[in-house]
Amino acid sequence: MSAQQPKEKSSLDPAPAPPSIHASSTGTGNPPPPDMRKILLAAVIGIVALWAGLKWSSGQSASGSSHECKHGHALTDSAIVRCPVQPDVRNVGGDWNPAASETDRDMAYARLAEAVQIPTESFDDMPMDPTDSRWDIFTTFETYLRQTFPLFHKHLELEHVNTHGLLFTWKGKNSSLKPVIFMAHQDVVPINPTTLDQWTYPPFSAHLDSEGWVWGRGTTDMKSTLIAQLSATEKLLSESFKPERTILYSFGFDEEITGPRGAGHLSQHILKRYGRDGASLILDEGFTGVDKDFGQTFARVGLAEKGLMTVRISISMPGGHASRPPPHTAIGIAGMMFTAMEQNPGPLYLEATNPLIRYLECAAAYGEMDKDTVGLVRCPQCWPQLAGELAAEDVALEAFLRTTHAITVVNGGIKLNALPEHVTSLTNYRIGFFETSQDVLDRLIGAISPIAKAMNMTLDLFGSHANVAQNVIRVETEYPPTEPAPLTPDSGPVWDLMGGTIKHVFPGAVVVPSAMTAFTDTQYYWDLSRHIYRFAPAPMTQLLNFHTVNERIHINAHFSTIRFFYKLINNLQGWQD
């Protein structure tokens, strides 16, 4: 958190959880160019202020005590960079905060807890056929939803898409209005059995501790959101609420393994019914939410998303006895390539079209930013320096400014005294907002080609030398790359609806652009709307340990998520896009 705190109490100030809750080379082929587009996208880092604010908000500039770009270089033309116009608070119809009632608090926790206790894990090797018995746990989860939300299932139409994909339609009174789509996924990241003893509480216990934390896999990613959507709707149905505009609830079941069975089918089903640009708004999960920095509360709304590509590199060499090794084994050559890849990370991008600059301008306009940092933000010729300093702060910041890669899987060798004959590796790329997958592949090939040549190895690029069996390095993608997402506008009626709702639920928050460095099911929904948002309607300090040991959510974050969806549905009444 920032060293400086707001002068007035905001919606993010800690609140105790309710008492009732607490009680409980030779080859030279070129890769075939994928169908890629140069999408000049931008990202606003959802955590840049959280990290950098530790340094900046305490009165020190981003570059330390001195830097070449002083604040005197700042351009005064406000058109150079601009914070989005803040939407007016929108408050239509009723309001419901489950935290205000002991009965509602207990019910909200119970609904979330029982959902978390159903281990809907999706593993990388899950079959493509959703009728396979390994997917049966999702039938159990659906049964739980049906029993827990009877009004939701009585009044909404349910379609099963590819067996476990759930598409609920709440028909609006005005069929001429485009629908909105609320997304969530039913699956969770598997628990690594070797980490079980590292969990404070069992990972599927949904234990509620005395401080209000609910522990368990899926609490943050993303059963809280799914249960909140249904809880808000169940409440509205109990009040005989009838929406003007149709609302779709689209729940995939394999998001954690890239979503082809779930969201891939759901999106096409919706597209056939409503057509291109057939939805006015799509809302999904995000690491982007609400937090404090620069003495201000910011609500970061994800408008962009990085691309994704996984590359497999395989090395085949003759085996033999380890007592007579060649100068470099297959594993040794793999190590050379890994080093070369990590020494060529690609460029940093910070440009005028990047919402990061707009976010920083918002921080300068609404927060407490020192004048030297303001100078960097408002001086385009200083942006390369600013990008370098942001990246140097932390790898989390760097991820928002360039393509990242992580060598995640390596296999090779079967015996201590036998030379490895085959080595494989998987590298996970998150493609930067200003790059394409082809840019990344070109950089990768440029890094490893000299090694292949020096080792007298054939470089087989995407099958260019498929007939070569030995002394070969093969490069291929695991599945078709996904490019960075199109940029959602940060102005207009849809932005005003989202921002106005956020400002009602989180009074005093400044709504700013942000982006996702991870990957969501929205990749399949691009054709359905220009307005795709990724947002967690909760303080990010209350959502901890995504995808790892001791994942947990504060119960107050679950309450605010329920309240947000209740208000957003109300705010759709009378709204025109």
Residues with active-site annotation: 187, 255
Which tokens go with 399? 């991820």
Beta-strand pair 532-534/281-284: parallel
* Residue 372 labelled as part of a binding site: no
Coil, helix or strand at residue 122: coil
Q: What beta strand segments (E) does 176-305 contain?
A: 180-185, 207-208, 213-215, 247-252, 281-284, 290-293, 296-305
Which tokens go with 343? 């020494």
* Residue 393 labelled as part of a binding site: no
Return the CA Rg of the chain: 25
* Residue 504 labelled as part of a binding site: no
Of 186, 181, 168, which is closest to residue 227 (Cα–Cα)?
Answer: 186
Of 422, 509, 520, 426, which is closest to residue 475 (Cα–Cα)?
Answer: 426
* Residue 547 labelled as part of a binding site: yes
| H or E element that contains 544 | strand 543-544
Residue 510 β-bridge partners = 298
CA 424 to chain centre: 28
What is the phi/psi pair of residue 177, to 5°? -85, 140
The contacts of residue 502 (CB under 8 Å, 6+ apart) are 290, 299, 301, 509, 511, 535, 537, 564
Question: Which residue type occupies 411?
Answer: N
Question: Which residue type occupies 6?
Answer: P
Which tokens go with 468? 């070569």
DSSP-derived secondary structure for 359-398: HHHHHHHHS---HHHHHHHT-GGGHHHHHHHHHHH-HHHH
Residue 15 β-bridge partners = none
Of 499, 493, 481, which is closest to residue 301 (Cα–Cα)?
Answer: 499
Coil, helix or strand at residue 315: strand
* Residue 398 labelled as part of a binding site: no
Q: In angstroms, what CA-CA distances link 270 with 154, 463, 521, 524?
A: 21, 36, 14, 11
Which residues participate in the annotated binding site? 185, 221, 256, 284, 547
Which residues participate in the annotated binding site for Zn(2+)? 185, 221, 256, 284, 547
